[in-house]
Amino acid sequence: MSPGELPALALRWLPRPAYTRPALAALNLAFATALRRGELDFMTGRIIVIALQETPLRLALSGARRRLVSPAVPRRPDLLIEADLATYATLLQGEADPDTLFFQRRLRLNGDTELGLEVKNFLAGWEPDRVLQRLLTQARRRLSGPVEVGDFTTRHREFQK
């Protein structure tokens, strides 16, 4: 067994509530304004699984009463979203749009196409607050290796000038 396989092996034995509860709390906080405005109401009764590549971590989400919740009854997800941690951070920071990441094959969406488009459109228009933006920037700095975001970043910087 290589040293790189050890973290994934340890994560396999991590109880689901150990990462589900903090992740749900963080997502509800990050998307609080959008949830209050009903921008995520399309998730009500739907199950979206967020998977972290190269780990066994899977977070099942659903919408209920303008909150993100873990589905009470496990069933096949309507949509599976899969990416590595750097890609999720890039996406949440708005440094690359979901289409760019999808076509670069860094972001995978499998399942209900309409639901995937709703999630993609929400993320493309969502802007994190300053505190979350700083946390995401720090997290990305700690990730190993450069994060390529195609020419979207270049175009975005040129647009801001």
pLDDT digits (tens, 9 = 90+) for 46-93: 999 999 888 888 999 999 999 999 997 778 999 999 999 889 888 887
R_g of the chain computed on alpha carbons: 16
pLDDT at 119 > cutoff 70? yes
Residue keyed to tokens 């488009």: 117
The architecture that CATH gives domain 5-160 is 2-Layer Sandwich (3.30)
> Which residue ranges make up each domain of the chain?
5-160
| Rounded Cα–Cα distance for residues 149 and 145 (Å) | 13
pLDDT category of residue 109 using cuts at 50, 70 and 90:
very high
Cα(144)–Cα(13) distance, rounded to whole angstroms?
24
3-state secondary structure (DSSP) of residue 80: strand
pLDDT value of residue 153? 39
